[in-house]
């Protein structure tokens, strides 16, 4: 059945009863009234970047709190869970790994979006911002598992959070491959400049952590059994989501430590290379200074100087200069300066 659209922002809107999607195209208000008249029914409406007017229409139907509606329209919202009387407002940040053939200093590794959810006894309103975090596949999977969908609105919330956190795990695995590549580059002595790559990965890791780490608090509030009411079965499912999210948090902490270590190692390599360059420059300067000393002495305008009137004085001095330079070069090579 094609979704009935109330406006450009409505991606899908349906009435579910006993875990089964009910046929027929009706307005959001009509669907919500039907849900209130049916014991095991609820409405799920999905919005994508709605305007203020479109959001106001939905808020009027479901009696959403103005502060929550304002947050739902805001561009910048971190993960959180708030309770407004009989309605819960949950914000989750979706993420996606950006495939790239080569890791550069400007490569985008992680892209993030946002999913905001209003959850009531008889409805779920999802508001998505950004190009990622689409919920069409989540809805299709839920509709194929009617027993889970029959658990009510919080089953929808669980499915969305579960899909988002599963993507977190995939991003973490892909991030590991980028880290392995950078680590290999750092450990190779002939490696080029990888400091920019390390900083870029750290920036992308910060963005990824901004999606994963703050989600711990909303999940903890869901699991405590006091903030929101749901069945024990759904709460067990949320516990699994929380475990997966904590696993990603731990991996991010490990990645951050590894990046710091790689950065320190690369900076140490740069320092060593600079010291080696300075020693080479000093060595050649010493050999040039030795020749300058000879030239300076015999460039003086004194009348009585050793070998000044000697027939072979000039070639003799050149030979002495070459020999002393060769001896100095050999000494510097043995000392590791050249």
Residue-wise pLDDT tens digits, 261-274:
888 887 777 776 77
Q: Six-digit token pair at 303? A: 């009348």
Taking 90 as the threshold, does the pLDDT of residue 217 lie above it? Answer: yes
Taking 90 as the threshold, does the pLDDT of residue 252 lie above it? Answer: yes
- pLDDT computed for residue 6 by the predictor: 46
Beta bridge partners of 12: 46
- pLDDT computed for residue 75 by the predictor: 79
In which residue are the tokens 């699994």 written? 240
Question: In the chain, what percentage of residues exceed pLDDT 90?
Answer: 42
Taking 90 as the threshold, does the pLDDT of residue 250 lie above it? Answer: yes
Question: 54: buried, middle or exposed (CB in 10 Å: 19+, 13-18, 0-12)?
Answer: middle
- pLDDT computed for residue 5 by the predictor: 41
| Mean pLDDT taken over the chain | 85
Alpha carbons 260 and 282: distance in angstroms, whole number: 33
Q: Whole-prediction pTM value? A: 0.78
**331 vs 311, which has greater pLDDT?**
331
Alpha carbons 123 and 120: distance in angstroms, whole number: 5
Nearest one of 112, 127, 91 to 168, comparing CA atoms = 112
Most confident of 16-25, 222-231, 234-243: 234-243
Q: Six-digit token pair at 157? A: 């919330």
Q: Give pLDDT tens digits for 113-150.
A: 999 999 999 999 999 998 887 899 999 999 999 888 99
Question: In the chain, what percentage of residues exceed pLDDT 70?
Answer: 90
- pLDDT computed for residue 303 by the predictor: 64
Q: Give pLDDT tens digits for 305-320.
A: 666 666 666 677 778 7
- pLDDT computed for residue 44 by the predictor: 94
Taking 90 as the threshold, does the pLDDT of residue 289 lie above it? Answer: no
The pLDDT-based confidence of 228 (bands split at 50, 70, 90) is confident
- pLDDT computed for residue 70 by the predictor: 92
In whole angstroms, what separates CA 39 from the centre of its chain? 43
CB 291, CB 324: distance < 8 Å: no
The pLDDT-based confidence of 195 (bands split at 50, 70, 90) is confident
- pLDDT computed for residue 45 by the predictor: 94
């Amino acid at each position: 059945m094609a979704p009935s659209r109330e406006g450009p922002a409505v991606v899908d809107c349906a009435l579910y009863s006993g875990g089964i999607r009910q046929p027929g195209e009706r307005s959001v208000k009509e669907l919500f009234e039907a849900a209130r008249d049916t014991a095991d029914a609820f409405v799920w409406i999905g919005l994508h970047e709605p305007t203020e007017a479109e959001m106001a229409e939905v808020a009027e139907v479901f009696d959403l709190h103005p502060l929550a509606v304002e947050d739902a329209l805001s561009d910048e919202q971190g993960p959180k869970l708030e309770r407004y009387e009989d309605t819960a407002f949950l914000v989750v940040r979706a993420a996606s790994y950006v495939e790239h053939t080569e890791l550069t200093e400007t490569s985008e590794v992680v892209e993030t979006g946002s999913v905001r959810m209003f959850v009531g006894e008889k409805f779920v309103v999802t508001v998505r911002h950004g190009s990622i975090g689409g919920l069409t596949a989540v809805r299709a999977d839920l509709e194929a598992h009617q027993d889970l969908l029959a658990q009510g609105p919080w089953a929808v919330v669980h499915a969305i959070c579960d899909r988002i956190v599963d993507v977190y795990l995939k991003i973490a695995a892909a991030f590991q491959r980028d880290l392995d590549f950078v680590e290999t580059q750092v450990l190779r002595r002939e490696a080029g400049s990888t400091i920019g790559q390390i900083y870029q990965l750290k920036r992308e890791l910060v963005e990824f952590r901004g999606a994963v780490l703050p989600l711990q608090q909303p999940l903890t509030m869901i699991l405590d059994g006091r903030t929101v009411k749901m069945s024990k079965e759904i709460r067990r499912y949320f516990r699994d989501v929380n475990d997966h999210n904590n696993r990603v948090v731990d991996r991010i902490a490990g990645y951050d430590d590894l990046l710091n270590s790689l950065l320190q190692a690369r900076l140490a390599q740069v320092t060593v290379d600079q010291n080696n360059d300075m020693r080479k420059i000093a060595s050649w300067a010493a050999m040039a200074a030795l020749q300058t000393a000879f030239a300076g002495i015999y460039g003086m305008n004194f009348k009585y100087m050793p070998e000044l009137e000697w027939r072979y004085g000039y070639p003799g001095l050149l030979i002495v200069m070459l020999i002393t330079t060769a001896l100095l070069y050999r000494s510097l090579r043995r000392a590791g300066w050249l």
